[in-house]
């Protein structure tokens, strides 16, 4: 590992001096990295055991920090302007997001489905932008491949990790404030990251506890919050409470909130669709013995959440994966769920407008 680390360090100092010549421009950082790393073989870092060897090197040890991003996050280089981080995914996932940095991403281990979206904002209020999210491009990131992360809100994307583990390495700039706060994207809106603060998290923990044994108090407190909080606070609360609110006991709370106005209605639509997105994503990760096509099909449904998007994803993947594999993958994925989950899956396929597709194609 020491030999590889020395090579990494010399590559990074070449990148530093080439990048300095273009004024450390975040927009152009990926071009420099792309060129300077064309013959750098980082594949050994796809092994967790090799990452552990690096972790014990003094220069790497002191850089470590707590991060909830990915299932194991290791930072192996940082010079104050840019850094190298390794993200290991063993079933974890993130929402559609954009970036306040630029980078080159190396797919070290496992394949992943990458879906890029267009988001058109129609109305902005506080930390929320209401609009529509549509698939622009889809591709499979193959083990050994590289891709470019552009800064700002130009390429909101979602990555679905097919391999377990899937390991990514990023050579990336530090956060660049002029691109603004990063956003998460949902089917009918985009939301800035910063809404999820400590107070909101504590409220959510408290509601979670109440929901277990004191459903009356849970209901009373949630209704009070929904009456007194901002739209964005309500959105994060409803998103995080997730499928709990779709249970029969509480479904009137969502309905009453949706009846308050058009933005509240869009917000509730997003919460319901997002529950479906999470359902397929989570089941794809948690169901044992899924093969590549079954996982990919469940992820394609999750990434699309409506029929038009799904058809786009399937045709865009056409060069790598035969469309037939995705439709039959979806069928066999559904048969591997238990009967309760099968009913939930069918409910969401219905909401996504994919029920006919799921039945007719399979
Ligand atoms: Fe990303």
Q: What is the pLDDT of residues 290-303, one digit of tens each?
A: 999 999 999 999 99
Q: How far is the CA of 186 from the centre of ligand 1 (A)?
A: 15
Q: What is the pLDDT of residue 362?
A: 46
Q: How far is the CA of 194 from the centre of ligand 1 (A)?
A: 17
Q: How far is the CA of 358 from the centre of ligand 1 (A)?
A: 29
Q: Longest C-alpha distance within the chain, in Å?
A: 64
36-40, 308-312, 319-323: the lowest-pLDDT one: 319-323
User: For residue 113, which of 316, 258, 257 has the smallest C-alpha distance?
Assistant: 316
Q: How far is the CA of 314 from the centre of ligand 1 (A)?
A: 21
Q: What is the pLDDT of residue 361?
A: 47
Residues above pLDDT 70, as percent of the chain? 99
47-56, 254-263, 335-344, 352-361: the lowest-pLDDT one: 352-361
Q: How far is the CA of 99 from the centre of ligand 1 (A)?
A: 6
Residue 362 vs residue 53, higher pLDDT? 53
Q: What is the pLDDT of residues 322-346, one digit of tens each?
A: 999 999 999 999 999 999 999 999 9
**What is the mean predicted confidence (pLDDT) over 96-124?**
96
Q: Taking all residues of the chain, what is their mean pLDDT, rounded to a whole number?
A: 94
**What is the mean predicted confidence (pLDDT) over 62-70?**
81
Q: How far is the CA of 8 from the centre of ligand 1 (A)?
A: 23
User: For residue 300, which of 316, 314, 279, 315 has the smallest C-alpha distance?
Assistant: 314
Q: What is the pLDDT of residue 344?
A: 95
Neighbours of 164 (CB within 10 A): 14
Q: How far is the CA of 267 from the centre of ligand 1 (A)?
A: 24
| pTM, entire model | 0.92
d(CA 212, CA 163): 35
Q: What is the pLDDT of residue 194?
A: 74
Q: How far is the CA of 60 from the centre of ligand 1 (A)?
A: 23
**What is the mean predicted confidence (pLDDT) over 310-325?**
95
**What are the tokens at 142?**
């193959």
User: How far out from the chain centre does Cα 304 lie?
Assistant: 13
pLDDT classification of 68: cutoffs 50, 70, 90: confident
**What are the tokens at 261?**
């106005």
**What is the mean predicted confidence (pLDDT) over 208-225?**
94
Q: How far is the CA of 80 from the centre of ligand 1 (A)?
A: 21
Q: How far is the CA of 22 from the centre of ligand 1 (A)?
A: 24
Contact 98, 146 (CB under 8 A): no
**What is the mean predicted confidence (pLDDT) over 128-152?**
96
Residue with tokens 């989570």: 282
Q: How far is the CA of 342 from the centre of ligand 1 (A)?
A: 31
Q: How far is the CA of 157 from the centre of ligand 1 (A)?
A: 6
Q: How far is the CA of 251 from the centre of ligand 1 (A)?
A: 33
Q: What is the pLDDT of residue 126?
A: 87
Q: What is the pLDDT of residue 360?
A: 74
d(CA 73, CA 55): 11
131-135, 179-183, 333-337, 354-358: the lowest-pLDDT one: 179-183
- Non-local (6+) Cβ contacts of 103 within 8 A are 29, 30, 33, 148, 149, 170, 171, 172, 173
Residue 91 vs residue 27, higher pLDDT? 27
**What is the mean predicted confidence (pLDDT) over 85-91?**
92
On the question of pLDDT at 216 being above 70, the answer is yes
Q: How far is the CA of 87 from the centre of ligand 1 (A)?
A: 11
Residues above pLDDT 90, as percent of the chain? 82
**What is the mean predicted confidence (pLDDT) over 63-83?**
89
């Amino acid at each position: 590992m020491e030999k590889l680390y020395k090579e990494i360090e010399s590559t990074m100092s070449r990148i530093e001096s080439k990048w300095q010549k273009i004024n450390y421009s975040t927009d152009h950082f990926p071009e420099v990295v792309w060129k300077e790393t064309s013959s750098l073989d980082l594949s050994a870092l796809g092994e967790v055991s090799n990452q552990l060897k690096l972790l014990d090197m003094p220069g790497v040890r002191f850089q470590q920090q707590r991060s909830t991003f990915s299932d194991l996050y290791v930072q192996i280089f940082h010079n104050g302007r840019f850094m190298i981080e390794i993200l290991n995914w063993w079933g974890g996932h993130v929402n559609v997001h954009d970036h306040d940095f630029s980078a080159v991403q190396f797919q070290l281990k496992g394949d992943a489905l990458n879906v890029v979206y267009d988001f058109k904002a129609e109305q902005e209020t506080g930390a929320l932008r209401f609009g529509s999210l549509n698939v622009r491009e889809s591709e499979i990131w193959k083990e050994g491949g590289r891709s470019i992360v552009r800064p700002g809100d130009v390429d909101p994307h979602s990555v679905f990790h097919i391999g377990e583990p899937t390991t990514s390495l990023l050579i990336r700039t530090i956060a660049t404030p002029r691109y603004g706060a990063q956003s998460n994207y949902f089917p009918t809106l985009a939301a800035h990251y910063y809404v999820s603060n400590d107070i909101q998290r504590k409220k959510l923990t408290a509601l979670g506890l109440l929901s277990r044994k004191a459903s009356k108090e849970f209901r009373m407190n949630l209704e009070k919050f929904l009456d007194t909080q901002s739209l964005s606070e309500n959105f994060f609360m409803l998103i995080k409470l997730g499928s709990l609110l779709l249970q029969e006991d509480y479904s009137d709370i969502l309905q009453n909130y949706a009846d308050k106005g058009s933005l509240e209605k869009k917000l509730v639509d997003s919460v319901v669709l997002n529950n479906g997105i999470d359902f397929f994503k989570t089941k794809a990760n948690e169901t044992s013995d899924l093969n590549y096509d079954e996982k990919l099909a469940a992820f394609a449904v999750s990434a699309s959440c409506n029929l038009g998007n799904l058809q786009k994803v399937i045709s865009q993947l056409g060069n790598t994966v035969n469309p037939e594999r995705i439709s039959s993958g979806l069928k066999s994925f559904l048969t591997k769920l238990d009967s309760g989950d099968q009913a939930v899956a069918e409910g969401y396929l219905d909401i996504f407008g994919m029920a006919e597709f799921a039945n007719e194609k399979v």
